[in-house]
Amino acid sequence: MWTVDLSNVITAEQKAAEAIAAMQAAYTAAIQDHLDTKAQERRYDGIQTAITYRDDPNPQFAAEGAALFIWRSAVWTYSTAELAKVLAGERERPSVEVFVAELPAFVWPLVQI
């Protein structure tokens, strides 16, 4: 008599969950890279470093840190809502490149010193 080991069986639900996790990871990585790349335009290590300058004594650094902080929130708020629509079937799944292109724009603040 044969014994079947069901512990290695992958269900359709598990495959779907893995596909969703992979999709979310791809979008998350691209969005984070987009945020970091923008901050690196002004020689910050990345967005995390840049936002620590929000209350810096240097007015330019403070303005840039504050603007990037607000923008980061807008980007993640938008992307979370739009990806939820994709998962709910309310919108087509865009390519990662198309999705990043539709994220809120950022404009560097001008500070008169």
Averaged in consecutive runs of 10 residues, what is the pLDDT profile of the chain (113 residues)? 70 85 95 98 97 97 98 98 96 97 97 76
Question: Torsion angle, CA of 24/27/29/31, rounded to 10 degrees?
Answer: -130
- Any idea how long the chain is? 113
Q: Specify whether the CB–CB gap between 23 and 93 falls below 8 A.
A: yes
**Is residue 13 one of the residues assigned to a domain?**
no
Question: How far from chain centre, in Å, is Cα 89?
Answer: 20
pLDDT for residue 4: 64
Split into its structural domains, the chain has a count of: 1
Give the global pTM.
Answer: 0.86
**Is residue 100 one of the residues assigned to a domain?**
yes
**Is residue 6 one of the residues assigned to a domain?**
no
pLDDT for residue 112: 78
**Is residue 55 one of the residues assigned to a domain?**
yes
**Is residue 4 one of the residues assigned to a domain?**
no
pLDDT for residue 9: 75
**Is residue 108 one of the residues assigned to a domain?**
yes
pLDDT for residue 111: 83
Q: Specify whether the CB–CB gap between 64 and 109 falls below 8 A.
A: yes
- The residue segments making up the domain with residue 69 are 28-113
